A and B are shown apart, each in its own frame.
Chain A
Amino acid sequence: MELLSSLLAITLSTIKDVIPIAVIIFGFQIFVIRRPIHNLRRVLTGFAYVIIGLALFLLGLEKALFPIGRLMAEQLTNPDFIREWSTGGPNDVLRWQDYYWVYIFAFAIGASTTIAEPSLIAVAIKANEVSGGTISVWGLRIAVALGVAVGISLGTWRIVTGYPIHWFIIAGYVVVVLQTIRAPKMIVPLAYDSGGVTTSTVTVPLVAALGLGLAETVPGRSALIDGFGLIAFASLFPMITVMGYAQLTGWLAGREKRKQQAEESLPQS
């Protein structure tokens, strides 16, 4: 019963989120384009499925994953827990190395939540369709997930060590710019997009809990200043890994081709 009432509440709030979008789309369709929507019934059914799907998805996350994920982030960042696994003595000051479970958790949770991110799935489906299958749905998703994982674990390391965030972001930008020059032209816009799509429904709540938990427990950090910024790491690194993925597959394909050419030219020589 309680589940049903929260499902209802979440469905209503999802509908509320969709209303401005629907008003804009149908308003422009009716008053500006002035043409009936092709397959109106099908489109409306699609919208209904999207709303039901998102509501169920959010309900499940609220009920099952977020509470345990938040609890975990709290427990993992608890100084007592970290001391238990640390190699130093009970009275030593914690070093950044002692937080290794936090980094591993950040990596794992970043990768796994990104795989389940609905907006990334949407972009991957579209990219696969547009590229005629050259970009595989799973290839893109795994490249992005790897980027988020590296980004978030680096972000937690930054919170522990207390280095200023803009050093990392600016260094990341420099890498992105250098890669842009070298990467296949086709991948660049998609790589830029993948930075923005990674962080939404699933990733943000869990990652924010981890960042705030860390910033509250590490001595000398302020939750307000250092707790933010993990999302920025999670949106920067996918650009690097997606371009890297394209560079790597391009390089491998090029090497394969050169090898074939070498083999073909062998008998004649």
Chain B
Amino acid sequence: MMGSLRDLAPIVLVIGFFQLAVLQQPLPDFIGLVIGLVCVVLGLTFFIFGLEMGLFPIGESMARAFARKGSVVWLLIFAFALGFGTTVAEPALIAVADEAATVASLGGMIVDDDAARSSYATGLRFTVAFSVGLAIVLGVLRILKGWSIQYMIIAGYIMVVVMTGFAPREIIGIAYDSGGVTTSTITVPLVTALGVGLASSIEGRNPMIDGFGLIAFASLTPMIFVMAYGMVI
């Protein structure tokens, strides 16, 4: 509770300072503001409590169970399902896909009507979800094989840079942003626990060096796939 209060204090200070000192305007709806802040503090407290109770243990116990079972195929299918399933319904992604469709129709890349826009947005959503599924699969494979993350991420960057040169200009900003929006608040703890759990139950893997990095893949592949999508359509 105190922790959550402290987490929130900076935002309150920043908004208060800018509203009162820079913009020199009174705070609108003071009571609503206080109620909202109380909700945020309570919510953060509950979330962190549930995180340690539910999300972290289940992620790690599943990682251990898969490691014991020794079935790589099922583990990879699980990894793909987790990445795809958590991304395809992600509200932030739906919002970005709709924006992208608007940009594409204004840029003359697709026909300017609702049907074309919605099929473009749906296509983009599935592309991103697929790319996140693939990212988690790659990341899990990396943990299993002990590949070092640097070369894979750097190769990914090189692809992003090369593709930036060929992709339509309108899609670049959206592609870069889509890397950041895909990983939601529930996916991150689960995927992190999965990676750390895997790395600690496989002999010869260091949870610090091998356990982290899944999120990094999940933020890199959408950029590549969204630019590819913009080039193909």
Contacts and interface: CB of A to CB of B under 8 A. Distances in A.
B65 A35 contact: yes
A197 B23 CA distance: 31
Contacts of B61: 37-38
Interface residues of B, number: 108
Contacts of A170: 161, 164
A139 B157 CA distance: 27
Interface string A184-224: 01101110110111111110100000000000000000001
B45 A130 contact: no
A235 B185 contact: no
Interface stretch (B108-116, B119-127, B211-219): B211-219
B138 interface: no
Interface string B190-208: 1011001000100000111
Nearest to B38: A60
Interface in B42-98: 42-58, 61-62, 65-66, 69, 71, 74, 78, 81-82, 85-86, 88-92
B50 to A, nearest CB: 3
A25 to B, nearest CB: 6
Q: Which of A3, A47, A116 has the most CB atoms of chain B within a 10 A radius of its CB?
A: A116
Contacts of A197: 183, 188, 215
B179 A112 contact: no
Nearest to A212: B99
B172 A190 contact: no
Contacts of B91: 13, 17
Chain A facing B: main interface SS: helix
A33 interface: yes
A65 B16 CA distance: 11
A74 to B, nearest CB: 10
Contacts of A199: 180-181
Interface in A161-198: 165-166, 169-170, 173, 176-177, 180, 185-186, 188-190, 192-193, 195-198
Nearest to A180: B150
Contact of B57 (A43, A67, A235): A43
Interface string B21-53: 011010110001111111111111111111111
Contacts of A42: 53-54, 57
A225 B183 contact: no
Interface in A18-44: 18, 20-21, 23-25, 28-29, 32-33, 35, 37-39, 42-44
Nearest to A195: B219
B44 A53 contact: yes
Contact of B185 (A119, A125, A173): A119
Interface in B123-155: 149-150, 153-154
Q: Which of A69, A193, A234 has the most CB of B within 10 A?
A: A193
A122 B89 contact: no
B176 A33 contact: no
6 contacts: A53-B46, A60-B37, A115-B10, A125-B52, A127-B208, A195-B216
Shortest beta-carbon contacts, A-B, top 5:
A46-B54, A64-B36, A49-B50, A57-B43, A53-B46
Given A113-B11, A119-B185, 6 more contacts: A46-B51, A57-B43, A122-B55, A126-B196, A231-B181, A235-B219
